[in-house]
Amino acid sequence: MRKNAVVISDLRVVRGGRPIIDGLDVAVPAGSVVGLLGPSGSGKTTLMRSVVGVQDHVTGTVEVLGSAAGTPALRRRVGYMTQDASVYTDLTVAQNLRYFAALADVPSPAEAVAAAVATVDLGGHEKQRVGTLSGGERTRVSLAAALVGGPELLVLDEPTVGLDPVLRRDLWAVFRRLAAAGCTLLVSSHVMDEAVQCDRLLLMRSGALVADTTPDELLATTGAPDAERAFLALIDAAGESAADVGKTTEETAR
Written in H, E and C, the secondary structure of the chain is: CCCEEEEEEEEEEEECCEEEEEEEEEEEECCCEEEEECCCCCCHHHHHHHHHCCCCCEEEEEEECCEECCCHHHCCCEEEECCCCCCCCCCEHHHHHHHHHHHCCCCCHHHHHHHHHHHCCCCCCCCCEHHHCCHHHHHHHHHHHHHCCCCCEEEEECCCCCCCHHHHHHHHHHHHHHHHCCCEEEEEECCHHHHHHCCEEEEEECCEEEEEECHHHHHHHHCCCCHHHHHHHHHHHHHHHHHHHHHHHHHHHC
Give the number of C-alpha atoms closer than 13 A to the C-alpha of residue 200, restricted to the C-beta side.
Answer: 18
Q: pTM of the predicted model, to two decimals?
A: 0.89
Per-residue confidence at 253, pLDDT binned at 50, 70, 90? very low
Task: Decide if pLDDT at 190 tops 80.
Answer: no
pLDDT at residue 244, rounded to an integer:
47
Classify each residue of 153-187 as buried b or exposed e, where b means 16 or more C-beta atoms within 10 Å of its C-beta: bbbbbbbbeebeeebbebbbebbeebbeeebbbbb
Sign of torsion over alpha carbons 61, 67, 71, 75: negative
Number of C-alpha atoms within 13 angstroms, CB side, residue 120? 26
Residue 94 pLDDT > 90: yes
The answer on pLDDT for 115 being more than 60 is yes
Instruction: Tally Cβ neighbours within 10 Å of residue 196.
Output: 15
Give the number of other CB atoms < 10 A from CB of residue 97: 28
pLDDT at residue 162, as a whole number: 83
Residue 108 CB neighbour total at 10 angstroms: 11
Domains of the chain: 1-65+189-254 (3.40.50.300)
What mean pLDDT is predicted for residues 63-75? Answer: 94
What pLDDT, on the 0 to 100 scale, is given for residue 2?
61
Look at residue 6 and tell me whether its pLDDT is greater than 90: yes
Distance CA 159, CA 199 (A): 17
Question: How confident is the model at residue 228, as a pLDDT?
Answer: 85
CA distance linking residue 184 with residue 51, whole number of Å:
13
Between 254 and 28, where is the model more confident? 28
216-252: pLDDT as tens digits = 999 898 998 888 888 888 878 876 655 443 443 344 3
Higher pLDDT, 165 or 9: 9
- What average pLDDT is seen over the chain? 89
Under the banding of pLDDT at 50, 70 and 90, the label for residue 55 is very high
Rounded to an integer, the average pLDDT of 74-88 is 91
